[in-house]
Chains A and B, each alone.
Chain A
């Protein structure tokens, strides 16, 4: 299944991170990944942290001039966690 996409280019601080978080919270159980496109460099630090707190891992790819594609994937829930 292709990941759900979220385009937050042009957004002001801190909405790239906030809108990513609310999109992650809306992912249903069978959706495993969210793909975010952003041009806001500070979000490259805030999104991985917030994603990790929600149980996701992040993969950042520079996709253009001052533009990044962030793939956020659900991590397996660890035993006893």
Chain B
């Protein structure tokens, strides 16, 4: 069948808009530099996490790297566009994490765990956490990282979803001690290098990622044709300045292809792990909601067992406002905002149908609860856990997929 997709643009107002977008983006980046300087003076860790946050937010927005759609579109559309980028990001992460963990724990036979890698207790909470998170992210139209970068693009519903996530994390904090006593404290952590060494774990992880790749490509073929994104017509640049300008356009204005976006996210994750810890932020978001609850005296009491756990476990409020993770999350939001402004993709988008607010909030709460008991989201319990050679990452990911499948059925019934 002949398939044709054409793109055209209204020429006049567009170039004016492009100039205005560039100016606004430069102002946004200048503000980001000011924040960097102020944060650097307070604590160098603040400014470093601010830069990481900006970079993650920028790449998420440019690559439209939505983890929820990566899972959902396999079932909804038979597309694996974003999933392919995600798999590449995991593979890049696995190689990098493998090198870092090899230095941290040279002797895997001693039964020691790498101190900051996301090797988490594996149990029913992992299964239920992944399942709830998968359902919630599809119903809400984005996971936690997706909601953060869409907040920066001006999606009002994503602000609602994020509020839901904060609420869900708070609810999970109320039930945490029950989970800890009844189940989590009795479960174990499983780190692949303990059984098959570092290189064995890397090979097994890469092979498993390749197997998933083959599976999703076969789904794409069963679903039939997929139209590649239409790239604007390519013309030979006439001068060096022209050439640089078209390079800048590819970087800042046109959407990034998903594979480079995934690879860069994986590489940034390795850099962040090398600097301090893997990418993840639901623990920080829980600190905000528990902190807000403590202001009105409804905070949960002390939470058991947290000090023994790595990754994105709940963080009780410590009474302080700033910490390095706040700069990471704020940076993700602001990096996406600056990227969207520069690309002319920022717009306040207000859903017209009331049901969208309900599903964003409800999906957010479900996601928040799932990430509370699952100790992370699509990032901390999955994108940072599989490269940690942690079995919990695979289990969480599998149930994310099942949850996304259920979520797909739910959104088909909500008009």
**Taking beta carbons and an 8 Å cutoff, which residues of A are in contact with B?**
9-15, 17-18, 39-42, 44-46, 48-50, 52-53, 55, 57-63, 65-67, 75, 78, 81
Total interface residues on B, CB under 8 Å, equals 48
B345 within 8 Å of A (CB atoms):
yes
Within 8 Å CB of A66, what residues of B? 344-347
Given known contacts A12-B351, A78-B2, what 13 new A-B pairs fall within 8 Å (CB)? A10-B350, A12-B158, A13-B141, A41-B64, A44-B230, A45-B229, A46-B77, A49-B225, A52-B5, A55-B1, A59-B8, A60-B6, A81-B1
Complex Cα distance, B106 from A55, in Å, reads 58
Indicate whether A65 sits within 8 Å of B356 (C-beta atoms), given known contacts A12-B155, A14-B69, A46-B79: no
Q: Residue A14 contacts which of B3, B360, B411 (CB distance < 8 angstroms)?
A: B411
A11 vs chain B, min Cβ distance (A):
6
Contacts of B224 in A (CB 8 A): 53
> Which chain B positions have C-beta within 8 A of A78?
1-2
Name B412's contact: one of A11, A18, A61, A67 (CB within 8 Å). A18
Top 4 nearest A-B pairs (CB, nearest first) are A12-B141, A66-B347, A57-B4, A62-B9
B62 to chain A, nearest CB (A): 11
A61 to B5, CA, bound (A): 11
CB pair A12–B356 under 8 Å, yes or no, is yes
Task: Name the B residues within 8 Å of A53 (CB-CB).
Answer: 224-225
* A-B CB contact pairs (8 Å), 29 listed: A10-B350, A10-B352, A11-B353, A12-B141, A12-B155, A12-B157, A12-B359, A13-B142, A39-B347, A39-B349, A41-B255, A42-B66, A45-B81, A46-B73, A46-B77, A48-B5, A49-B79, A49-B225, A49-B227, A50-B77, A57-B2, A57-B3, A58-B4, A60-B7, A60-B230, A62-B14, A67-B347, A78-B2, A81-B1
- Per DSSP, chain B at the interface is loop
* A60 (CB) vs chain B CBs: closest residue: B7
B192 nearest CB across to chain A (Å): 34
B residues whose Cβ falls under 8 Å from a Cβ of A: 1-10, 14, 17, 64, 66, 68-69, 72-73, 76-77, 79, 81, 141-142, 155, 157-158, 224-227, 229-230, 255, 344-347, 349-353, 356, 359-360, 411-412
Given A12-B157, A66-B345, A75-B1: A52 and B352 interface contact (C-beta under 8 Å): no
